[in-house]
Amino acid sequence: TGQSIASQATHRDIPAPPPIRNQSNTNRSQPLQGEFKNDSDARDDE
């Protein structure tokens, strides 16, 4: 049973990393979008 639990824990850990990476990408995309919006506003001012 101990091994089974360990295997399950490993399986749970494997799917966890991918979502974390996705979150990082989303966080990076948000700032980028904000910069793009700022650029558009600056152009409008010009």
| Token couple for 39 | 């650029």
pTM: 0.14
**Stretch 6-35: mean pLDDT, rounded?**
56
5-17 per-position pLDDT tens digit: 566 666 555 555 5
| Token couple for 36 | 């793009």
What is the SS3 string spanning the chain? CHHHHHHHHHHHHCCCHHHHHHHHHHHHHHHHHHHHHHHHHHHHHC
Report the distance separating Cα 43 and Cα 35, nearest Å.
12
Residue 28 — φ and ψ, nearest 5°?
-70, -35
Residue 1 confidence (pLDDT): 56
